[in-house]
Amino acid sequence: MSEIKKIKNLKEFSTSADRFEGAHLLCPGCAHSIIVREVLNATNDDLVLAASTGCLEVCTAVYPYTSWDASWIHIGFENGSTAVSGAEAMYKALKTKGRLKQPDRNPKFVAFGGDGSSYDIGFQWISGCMERNHNMMYIVLDNEVYANTGGQRSSSTPIGASATTTPAGSVSYGEKRNKKDMVAIMASHNIPYSAQVAPNKWKDMVKKIQHGMNVEGAVFINAVSPCTTEWKFDPKDTMHLADLSTDSLVFPLYEIIDGHELNITYRPKNIVPVEEYLAAQGRFKHLFKDEYKYLIKEWQTRVDANWAYLQRREEARV
Amino acid sequence: MAFDKLELNEIEVWDGNHAAAQALRQAQVDVVSAYPITPSTAVVEGYAKFKADNLVEGEVVMVESEHAAMSGCIGAAAAGGRVATATASQGLALMAETLYQASGMRLPIVLNLVNRALAAPLNVNCDHSDMYMVRDSGWIQFDAFNAQEAYDLNLIAFKVGEDHDVRLPVVVNQDGFLTSHTAQGLHPLSDDDAYNFVGEYKPMNDMLDFEHPVSHGIQTEEDWHFEHKARQHADTMNIVPAKIDEAFAEFERISGRKYNHIEKYDMDDAEVCVVCMGTSVETAREVAKEMREKGIKAGVIGIRVFRPFPFADISEALKDLKAVAVLDRSAPGGAAGALFNEIAGSLINTDTKVLLSGYIYGLGGRDLTKKHLVDLYTELQANADAGKLLTQQQQFIGVRGPKLAFL
């Protein structure tokens, strides 16, 4: 186990040694780059990183350039998790055999993927990595849509969102199904640590990333990543949207230790109505028509129920 | 805990799968990332048992699918060490995406492909449809005709693929069940001789070298993709054959066993010849010998190196023949057989007058009998005597129902 990096304040945090360069092709206002920097800046240890095909990958490693000043690999859409698990296995093997070039290092193995490559096409690969309990962290940059390919629904897209493959129209309110609960699913692999994080709550984020990097075994992190392009909000409002997501409890922040011990890590002082979160995004605009307003009520009921469920689990310590 | 070595007998009785597993053990593979599938399962089981018995030190990662198996191999290879796996048929089909990624990322990985038919209909027995499916995937491909060769070619595969001028993954093919499950007497190398031949793994662009961070698997569009693919093909055509020659020569020095890109049998004065792959090569050799007793000057060519395809060797070996049959163990799907096309491609634009015919045989493990080959050589001799093809160019042999012939 390596020493945990001490971080005093946001200024120091945001200007600490940066292994993700500012030169990349992500949209202005994209939360992906903010989350990635927060994760990478949480540690001084060496990193072996992977990205599945998606916004982060296509915008950060276009030959002959790279935004990554750390070991990095991309294979395909579904297998960023397994790429890192293979590298982690090689690390173990070379450590056993005494062939590591820098045997004194404590590298962290981290894979990033969007919700499309995580909730959908790469689901089985992540499950395999979690079940095998590799010493690695998998982080979903969850923007609830296939953003890289122009806004198709994924199984993370929430009810009522208009996506290009589940568009709102004269007889449709868009996506019909509820979002998959990935944190619960991955925690059910009884991995040592899983958590939900948000870029606006950076102290909570750092604490969880550092905890995750220092446990032995597989870690799953779901990070809400407001998408200016597909959620349809002004690029300057990314952090506002992140605030709305956590303070409306649409994205509650919590952690699950060893697959069962749930701790809520952020309790908003003033809980924002879900309606405000929805109203801030173009993808939900049609829900404010009279015939679909019932869906907004259902949204609030669902979010309230989930918050109550999380609190019950926390209290029961199960 | 240091691992234990094995004292092998001068002759060991192994099947092809166990021979491959033993070669992986002796090569001291660092990571095996694999998923079981008939008929290649025993390669992985054998290796896992070596691990359980402290005969290997590397990691064995038993993943949840063949796609993940190769994905893990790619991650492990990029991290910087020796990597191997095994699969067959449907497993290879599921893995196919990652095979292109492995070669495009220039990562040396050894894949034991135990050839089995592709469904549907579901079938666990041998044909070469899986081998053919990934023939353009950018992997070097060796073909073993028996268990001894499966063992030898695994060791050679590491040596060739890991060469810093090559850096390409290698498939070692062997026939499902016919080779993989048929025990034979083998002459293995000692553990030390085998490892010394393969050599210590020399990492390049390894992700575990933190002083030199590298981005693997980057994106290139119309501006650079073509140059990368062209470079890879140029290396495969220009550099790989000589590296294979070097490895074959060194292997002959330590084992006495000589390998060639094409394996010629009785070809010096042959007038008719069968070109084939896998276990059929040995059957054809036996029949060719018998045909000689009947006055037919019969020869056999077995394809040892399927990729890069040995065009020059083939055209040189076949140019003076009268009639040649190319045997394809795969449904041609509305075309000539894949091997037929390569042989035809080797002969075109030469002065040869050789008559070429193609035979589709053995799908889904259907036996290729000696009688089939006797009839085939007889047909070739008739073509040779007539100076023209007396049959259609493509025929199916060994299949029920009325005679099937095309083209």
Q: What is the pLDDT along chain A (318 residues), one digit of tens a residue?
A: 577 888 888 888 887 768 998 889 999 999 999 999 999 999 999 999 999 999 999 999 999 999 999 999 999 999 999 999 999 999 999 999 999 999 999 999 999 999 999 999 999 999 999 999 999 999 999 999 999 999 999 999 999 999 999 999 999 999 999 999 999 999 999 999 999 999 999 999 999 999 999 999 999 999 999 999 999 999 999 999 999 999 999 999 999 999 999 999 999 999 999 999 999 999 999 999 999 999 999 999 999 999 999 999 999 987
Residues B51, B107 share a domain? yes
Mutate to test the interface with B, among A45, A56, A68, A75 (most CBs of B within 10 A): A75
Sign, Cα dihedral of B21, B22, B23, B24: positive
Q: Which of B29, B404, B5 is nearest to B193 (CA)?
A: B5
A86 contacts B33? CB cut-off 8 A: yes
Phi, psi at B264, each rounded to 5°: -95, 140
Q: Is the predicted ipTM greater than 0.95, yes or no?
A: yes
Residues B250, B269 share a domain? no
A124 contacts B71? CB cut-off 8 A: no
Residue B291 lies in a domain: yes
Residues B243, B328 share a domain? no
Closest residue on chain A to B209 (Cα):
A101
Query: Does the CB of A26 have a partner CB in chain B at under 8 Å?
Result: no
B380: enclosing H helix or E strand: helix B370-386
Residues in A touching B97 (Cβ below 8 Å): 76
Distance from CA of A98 to the nearest CA of B (A): 11
Mutate to test the interface with A, among B59, B98, B109, B214 (most CBs of A within 10 A): B59
pLDDT for B85: 98
CA distance A130 to B68: 13
B79 contacts A90? CB cut-off 8 A: yes
Residues B57, B156 share a domain? yes
Residues B297, B236 share a domain? no
A87 contacts B218? CB cut-off 8 A: no
Residue B292 lies in a domain: yes
Residues in B touching A122 (Cβ below 8 Å): none
Residue B211 lies in a domain: no
- Name the residue type at position B365: G
Pairing of strands B394-396, B355-360: parallel
Range of the domain at B33: 12-202+220-255
CA distance B115 to B92: 10
Name every residue whose Cβ is closer than 8 Å to that of residue B177 and which is 6 or more positions away in sequence. Answer: B39, B124, B125, B126, B365
Distance from CA of A285 to the nearest CA of B (A): 36
pLDDT for B2: 86
Residues B180, B291 share a domain? no
Peptide bond into A226 cis (omega under 30): no
Mutate to test the interface with B, among A71, A96, A104 (most CBs of B within 10 A): A71
A66 contacts B218? CB cut-off 8 A: yes
Distances from the Cα of B101 to the Cα of A107, B31, B75, angstroms: 25, 18, 11
Residue B385 lies in a domain: yes
CA distance A2 to A47: 13
CATH number at B331 reads 3.40.50.920
Six-digit token pair at B224?
A: 């650079």
Six-digit token pair at A141?
A: 């940059």
Distance from CA of B80 to the nearest CA of A (A): 7
Architecture of domain A10-316: 3-Layer(aba) Sandwich (3.40)
Residues B178, B98 share a domain? yes
CA distance B199 to B160: 11
Asked if residues A136 and A109 have their Cβ atoms less than 8 Å apart, the reply is yes
pLDDT of B1 over the 70 cut? no
A254: enclosing H helix or E strand: strand A254-257
Residues B304, B243 share a domain? no
Distance from CA of A234 to the nearest CA of B (A): 29
Q: Which of A231, A62, A250, A297 is nearest to B217 (CA)?
A: A62
pLDDT for A119: 98
CA distance B65 to B91: 8
Residues B77, B174 share a domain? yes
Mean pLDDT estimate for chain A = 96
At B82, the pLDDT band (50, 70, 90 cuts) reads: very high
Residues B71, B160 share a domain? yes
Torsion of CA B368, B371, B373, B374, to 10 degrees: 170
pLDDT for A166: 97
pLDDT for A314: 97
Residues B402, B297 share a domain? yes
A294: enclosing H helix or E strand: helix A293-316
CATH number at B34 reads 3.40.50.970
Distance from CA of A192 to the nearest CA of B (A): 20
Residues B58, B146 share a domain? yes
Residue B214 lies in a domain: no
At B130, the pLDDT band (50, 70, 90 cuts) reads: very high
% of residues, chain B, pLDDT over 90: 100
pLDDT of B48 over the 80 cut? yes
Q: Could you state, in order of their start, the residue ranges of all structural domains in chain A?
A: 10-316
In chain B, the number of structural domains is 2
Give me the DSSP letters along A2-71.
Answer: PPPPP---HHHHHTS--SB-S---PPTT-HHHHHHHHHHHT--S-EEEEE-TTHHHHTT-BTT--SBSSE
pLDDT for A1: 53
Mutate to test the interface with B, among A19, A90, A105, A124 (most CBs of B within 10 A): A90
Asked if residues B169 and B103 have their Cβ atoms less than 8 Å apart, the reply is yes
Of B64, B216, B219, the CB nearest to A62: B219
Three-class SS state of B331: coil
> For A52-69, what is each residue's pLDDT tens digit?
999 999 999 999 999 999
